[in-house]
Structure 1
Amino acid sequence: MIIQNDTFILSKRGWLPSMLVATFFLFFTMTTLHLFQFISGALLIALLLIYRNPERTTTINEANSILSSVDGVVLGVEDALIDEKMMKKITVLNGLWDVSMLRAPFDGVVEAYKVRHGISLPLYNPLSDTLNEKALLSFRAACGEEIFIEHMSDQSCFPIEVEAEEGQKMKEGSRYGFLAKGRTILYLPHNVTISIHPGSNVRAGESVIGQFA
């Protein structure tokens, strides 16, 4: 099955800041203020990269596949005890120049979500887990299995955004939020077959990270 996502090439979140910076760039270009022209031009390019929203075509070979919800590099795959239940914990680091759009890992329902507003300390800071901005979501697949996803900001001036409602049905690969730079942890059922390893590069809505039993 092939799912085609049709959206603007630039996330709607980036329209206003990009237009403002583009206006300054044109102004400085006409006034020959070359230093400010260079700064505003570099900032415009950075914003276009951060807010880019590429088309993703997802080829799904099996209905029980779980896709990555974020672009980035896998930092770790391990077992974790969550609420007295053993689960698979996959940690993914999303860099500033990775695509920032978050995508649903499978066809399913948003069981719950919560966004905790906060600051954006470096992840190595011991206070980051307590003070940094964080989003928590749970998705339930058609097979009845539930996974949990945690997104946390890392030294970013861009807030985490989640566009979802409890009980909302989502198609695999559909967009549900924005994370410009941070860490994502996916908690999967312990009987899931993991398809990636530390060091793997994953793409939201495309890379299969595991399969339900």
Structure 2
Amino acid sequence: MDRDMPQPAPNPGLDLNWRFTVKIVLIVVVAMGLMSWSSWACERFLPSPDVLWLKLLLSACAVAAAICTFIVMQRGFDLRSPPRLLGSRDTASLSAIYAVLTLVFLYVFLPGLLPLLHRFAPSQPVVLIEPVQMDAGSARGCRKRASFPGDSLWMRRRLCKLDPASYGALAKTGRIEIAGSASYFGIAVSQFKAAPAVEDRDDHNP
């Protein structure tokens, strides 16, 4: 008797929602993984001031990708035929969220390409002394940092997560001695220590 009763039709909407949720979760996991890799790769890498043009180009690519994301999402939400270039105002806020997420992801991820390019570029060992400015601010992921000349929003030239002993020694002298490998793209720092202050060095000269 149960066989004669009509069976409920499967709901295709539930399957589509499940697939969409899985895709979103996978995208978030991959994005977080790539951002973590980029932060780890840049942790002990000092970009060269000569590649400022490349940093600006990467930033421009991030902005362009965010704008394209906004337009694509707006056209996807707009079911008109033909769709308008900027879509509907009703979905603009949601499209803007996607665009901002794209911008944040690329802003964090793209700098990790510089250490990767450095690895495949010709390099040589180097030991040099540079002046540094110490900052114990509350910047997330970069507390107790040493900033090198040329450090800015566009060119992050800094060493982060310094231990208290290293931070105190560098703050006292204001100079750092770094050892690593140098290429056109920058310096991969393998070791560093506080260098004598200029006054101390002059006092020891005969």
Q: Which has the higher strand share?
A: 1
Q: Which has the higher helix share?
A: 2
Question: With structure 2 as the length reference, what TM-score do the two structures score?
Answer: 0.27
